[in-house]
Amino acid sequence: MAFFPIFLTVKDHPCLVVGGGNTATRKIDLLLQADARIHVVAPQISSLLQSWVDEGRISYRCGTFVETDLSGCRLVIAATNDNAINQQVSNAAKAHQILVNVVDSPESCDFIVPSMLSREPLQVAISTGGAAPVLARLLRARLESLIPAAYGQLAALMAAFREPLKQRFQNTTERRDFWESVLQGPIAELVLSGQQERAQAALTQYLAQVDANDAPLPRGEVYLVGGGPGDPDLLTFRALRLMQQADVVVYDRLVSPAVLNLVRREAERVYVGKKPNDHTLPQEEINELLAKLALQGKKVLRLKGGDPFVFGRGGEEIETLMAAGVPFQVVPGITAALGASAYAGIPLTHRDHAQACVFVTGHLKDGSLDLNWSMLTQLNQTVVVYMGLRALNEFCRQMIAHGLPANYPAALVQKATTSEQKTIVGTLQTLPDLVHQADIHLQSLIIVGTVVTLQQQLSWFTPPPGVSEH
């Protein structure tokens, strides 16, 4: 990352702003909100800045920048319309090891000013590293509607109880568990509905009950979450919320790095990915691991690619959890068939082509390929094969042997919804050779049906340059 995100205190510290126009005024306004001591240098200043000078809120020297203006400063902002002066300010500040920001010139900056959402004391800062400030402002506008002003009051209430909670709980995990139980319960709702006094009384009572062991902290739980086909934008809101609450994440190889990066950074990560004939952990041991971690009081995120209940063996895992008395939640995800078909431009159903869709797995429990061929070779349907790459040759041969024509449309989609997506379109006869010629890996899906003929017409997703589509 180009800039290290940091919140810097400037309260009562001298800060220099070079420039007196509208841009400088906006920066000065932000510094005033942070209680900085602001000195402005410019040949002339706006009427608003002059009023702040008259009120004693800022100091001002009429003139051009000189190096002595930097004396004692904590940070400097260059906001003139003269690039040469801005660069002079930047060079001088860096020579004195003073943090400097040059407006609209990220390459000359030690720090940049992000787009900010304030719900005092809660602050949200959004930055694109200076690459796309308009995008940052649009994202902030979206957050404005998602984060009510009362969240600041909720943060203030938590701050008021910070010390009593430290005295009660020495362990940071216990403190976090307490606050998560509060933030997801009726006390938080009292704050968000404007009932501050009732919320404070309820929180005081709850803390006293916990101290007397009358209200035990939440026990461990397992979140069985579908991570979708790869694009993190396709996650559900509920999945994102639980990903941020987990103490430990147990994940497999089908979870994309972009999705995994959204898990709470402090969470322990346990990889249990499985490849054909190469299991990091057998499924039975994964089941037991989930129960064991939850019984230790941890919030366990079982993060799976796609959907947990579509060839994800989620049913087996929750059978073990239920037998052990472990509470759990199941959060559906967009299964690979839906993601691959949508991003490849191959509708699974279509009035002129398919009135049914069948999902099958390309390998069974014993590794064989023993499918209901008479059912799969019916016309006017789409067949989607999960985990079928290794058996692709045999699958296509059997489909032809059981009645489908050799030129029946078929496609393979690799790493759907990601920048590495590849779509290969052919027939039952040609697809195996086309896939063999391409560099195709195990994260792929096979689609068979006349809907495949629509791919060229309906294809809309183009991977970034450097990733070819066959």
* Burial classification of residue 466, based on how many CB atoms lie within 10 Å of its CB (0-12 exposed, 13-18 middle, 19 or more buried): exposed
310 among the known binding-site residues? yes
170 labeled binding residue: no
Cβ atoms 131, 3 nearer than 8 A: no
User: 215-233 burial by CB neighbour count: b if 16+ within 10 A, else e?
Assistant: eeeeebbbbbbbbbbbbbe
306 in a known ligand binding site: yes
Q: For residue 459, with 0-12 CB atoms within 10 Å meaning exposed, 13-18 middle and 19 or more buried, which class applies? A: middle
Q: Quote the CA–CA distance of 251 and 465 in Å, as a whole number.
A: 30
User: Which among 255, 215, 221 is positioned nearest to 235, based on CA atoms?
Assistant: 255
Do residues 107 and 124 make contact, with C-beta atoms less than 8 angstroms apart? no
DSSP 306: B
Nearest to 385 by CA among 396, 39, 461, 196: 396
Start-end of H helices in 254-304: 257-260, 283-295
Which stretches within 231-301 are classed as H helix?
Answer: 237-243, 257-260, 283-295
- Is 367 part of any known ligand binding site? no
> Is 336 within any annotated ligand binding site?
yes
Integer Cα distance of 162 and 173 in angstroms: 14
Question: Any binding-site annotation on 439?
Answer: no
Taking the C-alpha atoms of residue 421 and residue 426, their distance in angstroms, rounded to an integer, is 17
Asked if residue 23 belongs to a known ligand binding site, the reply is yes
Asked whether residue 427 is marked as a ligand-binding residue, the answer is no
CA–CA distances in Å: residue 435 to residues 331, 410, 455, 470: 33, 11, 17, 10
Q: Which amino acids are annotated catalytic?
A: 252, 274
Confirm or deny that 243 is annotated as ligand binding: no
Q: Is 232 annotated as a binding residue?
A: no
Flag whether 342 is marked binding: no
349 is in an annotated binding site: no
Buried b (16+ CB within 10 A) or exposed e, 2-22: eeeeeeeebeebbbbbbbbee
Angle between helix 314-324 and helix 283-295 axes, rounded to 10 deg: 40
64 labeled part of a ligand binding site: no
Annotated binding-site ranges for NAD(+): 22-23, 43-44
Annotated binding-site ranges for S-adenosyl-L-methionine: 229, 305-307, 310, 335-336, 387, 416
Annotated binding-site ranges: 22-23, 43-44, 229, 305-307, 310, 335-336, 387, 416
